[in-house]
Amino acid sequence: MLIDLKQQPADALLALIKLHNADPRADKIDLGVGVYRTGQGETPVFGAIKAAEKKLVETQDSKAYLGPEGDMGFVEALMPYVFGKDSPSMGGRIEGMQTPGGTGSLRLALAMVKRAGYKRLIVGKPSWPNHNQICADLGLEVLEFNHARADGTTDMDAIRTALADAGEADAVLLHGCCHNPTGIDYSNAEWDEIAGLLAERKVLPVIDLAYQGLGRGMEEDAYGVRRVLAAVPEAMVCYSCDKNFGLYRDRVGALYAMVADPADLAKVMSNAHALARANWSQPPDHGGAAVRLILEDEALTAQWLDELDQMRDRMRQVRARLAEAGKTGGVDLTPIGIQNGLFSIIPFTPEQVQAMRSEHGIYFAGSGRINVAGLTMGNIDKFIAAVADVTG
Ligand code: LMR
């Protein structure tokens, strides 16, 4: 019976939205769920998106179904940004489809991993908690390795060992850029080595690229994806436009599969289409169509890239200011300066996380993950003082 179902805890990250909203203090700070905020603490719709939406309303003449693959104009328009302008489909070896956000893409990719008979998914820890939740729901065995060291650098020995023990029956999930939750990314040289190991061990790479453009730049953030795809016969890339186009609630993503022989692509993608049909049938159209209109228009593309540059610059400034604070109470904020994207982890104890909430009205994940975009030049000093207070 339905009433035999057990009570489930609310998703810890999404629960932070409500916790923060319920706090009456005017100077509370929300460093929880990963949305970008301006220096004024707002998450406005991109100007380029507003313009594209206006155009969409004026020109769209039908809302009839498009099929499980969604808007293929959108899917293909993104490809030069992800895979490079020179050969966006790598000679016909890559095809994609639209998905409901990055989560829809991950769900589909991991269901494909399962369906293709892979036994294990190798994942660096900590990772975005939903990675493990999706695997648990699919019944996919997860093998974890340590992603980063305490000093804020990647733990290359751990991934070397994990891949040395892996083989053809394994897939590995990698964060393309702006690692969530640590902000600690592989350097280009490290990606070179990882690409070689993946090819040697014949492990299937699944790359989660949810923050392209928010780390070091659109091209720079694609280095890992391109390097890995150049080295291996098969791979999948899970893409999200929710952050780099600010479309969070519109759920805009894409799944790309690469195979060795273009002749096999239709067969492989037919599985992704069938799985999508059995899950959500067809992706929501609006956000993807707006992205397509931007990417089809040179001026709108330039406007979008400019807006993205401003976001990245602001996050760099926040990171620089935190790094400048250096040793603060019992923690060192210096490594945050060289990390990428929306997130970094501060090694708070669970009690310190609670104290930050109850004593200072500062909300972030229980893992100690902060969304640096929640900090502004107006609240950052309060944050640093609170860190010193609870960890000192
Ligand atoms: C996050 O990690 O905060 C974001 O990816 C939002 C989410 O869905 O969890």
User: Which of 68, 135, 109 lies closest to 278, judged by CA?
Assistant: 68
Residue 1 falls inside a structural domain = no
CA angle 43, 75, 48 (to 5 degrees): 35
CA of 264 to the centre of ligand 1 (A): 34
Nearest-atom index, ligand 1, CA of 130: 9
| 343 contacts 372 by C-beta, under 8 angstroms | yes
Question: Ligand 1 centre and the CA of 34: distance in Å?
Answer: 5
Ligand 1 pocket, mutate which of 128, 175, 372 (most atoms under 8 A from CB): 128
pLDDT of residue 199: 98
Q: 220 and 80 share a domain?
A: yes
Residue 59 belongs to some domain of the structure: no
**pLDDT the model gives residue 93:** 98
Residues 285 and 317 in one domain: no
Quick one: which atom of ligand 1 is closest to the CA of 14? 9
Catalytic site positions: 128, 208, 243
Task: Give helix 188-201 / helix 156-164 axis angle, nearest 10°.
Answer: 10
33 pocket-lining for ligand 1 (C-beta < 6 Å): yes
Nearest Cα residue to atom 6 of ligand 1: 34
pLDDT of residue 146: 98
Do the domain assignments include residue 177? yes
Contact status, residue 373 vs residue 314, Cβ threshold 8 Å? yes
364 lines ligand 1 (CB under 6 A): no
pLDDT of residue 316: 97
Q: Which residues form the domain of 316?
A: 10-45+300-391
280 and 332 part of one domain? no
Whole-number Å distance between alpha carbons of 359 and 389: 10
Q: What is the DSSP string of 5-70?
A: SPP-PPPHHHHHHHHHHH---TT-EE--S-----TTS--PPPHHHHHHHHHHHHH--------TT-
| Whether the CB of 180 sits within 6 Å of ligand 1 | yes
Based on the domain organization, do 224 and 141 belong to the same domain?
A: yes
Calpha distance 5→221 (Å, rounded)? 43
- Based on the fold, state whether residues 307 and 276 are members of the same structural domain: no
Place of tokens 């640590």: 182
Q: Is 214 in the pocket of ligand 1 (CB under 6 A)?
A: no
Report the distance separating Cα 369 and Cα 346, nearest Å. 6
The pLDDT tens digits along the chain (392 residues) read: 999 999 998 888 889 999 999 999 999 999 999 999 999 999 999 999 999 999 999 999 999 999 999 999 999 999 999 999 999 999 999 999 999 999 999 999 999 999 999 989 999 999 999 999 999 999 999 999 999 998 889 999 999 999 999 999 999 999 999 999 999 999 999 999 999 999 999 999 999 999 999 999 999 999 999 999 999 999 999 999 999 999 999 999 999 999 999 999 999 999 999 999 999 999 999 999 999 999 999 999 999 999 999 999 999 999 999 999 999 999 999 999 999 999 999 999 999 999 999 999 999 999 999 999 999 999 999 999 999 999 99
* Residue 101 Cβ contacting ligand 1 at under 6 Å: no
CA 86, CA 88: separation in Å to the nearest integer? 6
Q: In terms of domains, do 98 and 246 share one?
A: yes
> Is residue 115 assigned to a domain?
yes
Same domain, 37 and 185: no
Cα 307 to Cα 79, 285, 324: the distances in Å are 20, 23, 26
The enclosing H or E element of 207 equals strand 204-209
- HSE (side-chain half, CA atoms, 13 Å) at 185: 31
- The CATH number linked to 356 is 3.90.1150.10
pLDDT of 151: 87
Establish if 206 belongs to a structural domain.
yes
Q: Are residues 289 and 318 in the same domain?
A: no
CA distances from 74 to 48, 49, 102, 294 (A): 15, 14, 15, 10
Instruction: Tell which of 296, 322, 343 closes a domain.
Output: 296
* 214 in the same domain as 196: yes
**Residue nearest ligand 1's atom 4 by CA:** 34
Tell me which of 11, 13, 43 to substitute to probe ligand 1's pocket, judged by most ligand atoms within 8 Å of the beta carbon.
13
Q: Are 214 and 175 in contact (CB under 8 A)?
A: no
Ligand 1 close to Cβ of residue 34 (< 6 A)? yes
Q: Is 343 in the pocket of ligand 1 (CB under 6 A)?
A: no
Ligand 1 within 6 A of CB of 134: no
Pick the last residue of a domain from 266, 296, 326.
296
Yes or no: say if 204 and 169 are a contact pair by the CB < 8 Å rule: no
The residue to mutate among 35, 130, 243, 369, having the most atoms of ligand 1 within 8 angstroms of its beta carbon, is 130
The pLDDT value given to residue 218: 98
Residue 352, pLDDT score: 97
Q: Whose CA is nearest to atom 5 of ligand 1?
A: 34
Task: Out of 249, 277, 296, pick the residue that ends a domain.
Answer: 296
Total number of domains constituting the chain: 2
**What does each C-alpha distance from 325 to 37, 151, 255, 312, 382 come to in angstroms?**
21, 16, 40, 20, 12
Give the number of C-alpha atoms closer than 13 A to the C-alpha of residue 300, restricted to the C-beta side. 19
- Would residue 54 count as lying in a domain? no
Using the mean position of ligand 1's atoms as its centre, give its distance from the Cα of residue 299 in Å: 30
Distance 242 CA to ligand 1 centre (A): 10
Instruction: State the sign of the Cα–Cα–Cα–Cα dihedral 257, 259, 264, 268.
Output: negative
Give domain status of residue 367, yes or no.
yes
In this structure, what are the phi and psi dihedrals at residue 98, rounded to the nearest 5 degrees? -80, 145
Task: Identify whether residues 286 and 377 lie together within a single domain.
Answer: no
Distance 180 CA to ligand 1 centre (A): 9
Nearest CA to ligand 1 atom 1: 34
Tell me how far apart the alpha carbons of residues 34 and 371 are, in angstroms, rounded to a whole number. Answer: 6
128 lines ligand 1 (CB under 6 A): yes
CATH code of the domain in which 290 resides:
3.40.640.10
Residues 351 and 281 both lie in one domain = no
Cβ of 209 below 6 Å from ligand 1: no
Predicted confidence at residue 294, as pLDDT, reads 98
Same domain, 280 and 323: no
